[in-house]
Chain A
Amino acid sequence: MPGDKAFTDEAIITGILNGGMEESKYIKALYLQNLDRVTRHIELNKGTREDAIDIFQEAVLVFYEKVKKGEFRGDSSIATFIYAVAQNLWLSKLKKRKRALHHTYVVDSNIQAENNPELAVLDQEKGRLIMAVLNRVGASCKKILLYAVYYQYSMQEIAAKMGYKNEQIAKNKKYKCKKRFKQLLLADPVYQELYGD
C-alpha cells in the first residue's frame, strides 16, 4: 500500500482542484505516496510513531488547503513540499516541548495559538463546541455544510454527492442547514462565552 506511484503530482493537484466524487481517491494516493518518507524522518528525529503520523497528517492538511486556495505554485514537487512542511511542524513541536519542559512561556498578545497554551485551549474548546453543534444539526446537514464551506464543492457536486435531483434543492438544503446551525450555535451558552457576542 505505501509507496503507490499511480498518480503524478499534476494528477493529484488537478484531482483536488476539481473536487467532487473523485477527490478522496487522490487524497488517498497522496497520503500513501508520502507516508513512509515523512514518518521515517520524524521517527529518526526523536519522534514516536504517533508523533510522526500526526505531523504527517497536519502537513497533508496544509498542502490540501494550499492547493484548494490556489496557492500551491508547484515550485517544488508535492513530496518535497510535504516533507518540508512536516519538518518545520516537527521542529516547532520539539521547541514547544522543550519550552514546556523548562516552564519558560512568554505571553505575548501577538503570539499565535500554536505557541500560547491559553489560546490553544480556547481553540480546542471552540472546536469541541462546533463539532457538538454540527452533530446536532444531523448527519446530512453536517455533510452539506462541510462540502460547501470547507471542501468548496459546487452546488451541482453537492447535489450529486447527496443524491438530490438538482442544484436548486442542494442550495435550499444548504440554506436551511446553515440557518439551523446558526440558531443552535447562537443559542448555546458556551458560544457567548467563547466568542463574546
Chain B
Amino acid sequence: MALLEKVDKNIEARAWQGEIPIQSRYTCGLAGEKFFREIMENGRFAGTHCAECEYTYVPPTIYCERCFAKLDEWVEVGPEGTVQSFTVLLVAPDGTPLEEPDILALIQLDGADSVLVHRLGKVGLDELAIGMRVKAVFKPKKEREGSILDIVHFVPVNA
C-alpha cells in the first residue's frame, strides 16, 4: 500500500479556499457583571477574596480555583499596581508589522494576587521595567460600556 503516485506538478496542486463565519455573544457572568459595573460607574476595580488561600482574584471569580470554595467576599483593589512583565509587540493580529509598537504588560494591582493584562501608555521604551509602578486610566464615564476597553491603558504613577 501507500501512495504510488503524487501530484508532481506545482500547477496541478489544486486547493479550495473557504472561511468559517462565526459570531458569538459571550456573557460576562455574575463576577464579570460586578467587575465591569464597578469600572463603569465608579472607576474602581473589584476583586473576590479567598480567606482560606489568602488569594485575591482580579478579574473576580465566584469560586476559588485553588481550594474550590465559593467566593462572596468582595474587595476593592488598585487602581495602582506593579508591572510583573512587559513586552513590546511589533506585529498586528494578522501577522503583518505594526506601525506603532504596542506595549502590553502584566499588572498586579495593589491588593490583588492575580494580574491584569493590558496596555501601557505614556511611557518611553527605555523607561520600561519589571517592577515599575503604574496606574489605570479609565475612559470618560459617559463613554464606558462595560468592557475591558473601558480601561484606556496603564501609565507610570509619576507621569
Decide whether A and B are members of one complex: no
Q: B residues touching A (Cβ–Cβ < 8 Å)? A: none
Q: A residues touching B (Cβ–Cβ < 8 Å)? A: none
